[in-house]
Structure 1
Amino acid sequence: MGIEVTGLLSLIWLIIVIWAIVKVAKSSASGLAKLIWIVVLLIFPLVGLIVWFLFGPKG
């Protein structure tokens, strides 16, 4: 049962990270800011997502 739960949580986490990347790409931030946020989200998914929620581009 542990493998199924871990797989499901990983899938949910992947969906959340992809959602954040799409939100960054659609934001009104500059091109360089978008690139930096996307790289941070890809390299540091957990920390990057938390930092993005707190300080990322709004709107």
Structure 2
Amino acid sequence: MEITGIGGLIVLALDIWAVISILGSGVSTGKKVLWVLLVVILPLLGFIIWLIFGPRSPRI
């Protein structure tokens, strides 16, 4: 049961990182909203899709 809780926290942390990265990216506001909705509505699947296809914030 503890593994499920830890797994949920990991997915939550990854989703927060994805949302921050999406909001910092250079894509249009409409695309940002769609990506954030995808990550929020489908946390694990949305994160994986974003990781493969999504916008990234510029590297410093």
TM-score (norm 1): 0.85
Greater Cα offset, 25-34 or 41-50: 41-50
Report 1 or 2 for greater relative contact order, CA contacts < 8 Å, sequence distance ≥ 6.
Answer: 2
**C-alpha offsets along residues 11-48 of structure 1, whole Å, 9 cap, x if unaligned?**
11110011101100111111000000000111111221
1:6 aligned onto 2:16: no
Structure in which a larger fraction of residues adopt helix: 1
Gaps of 5+ in 2: none
Q: Which runs of 4+ in 1 moved over 4 A?
A: none
Gaps of 5+ in 1: none
- Asked if the contact 2:18–2:47 (Cα under 8 Å) also holds between the matched residues in 1, the reply is yes
Q: Which amino acid aligns with 1:30?
A: S
1:51 aligned onto 2:49: yes
Q: Distance in 1 between matches of 2:51 and 2:21?
A: 11
Number of equivalences = 57
Identity %: 39
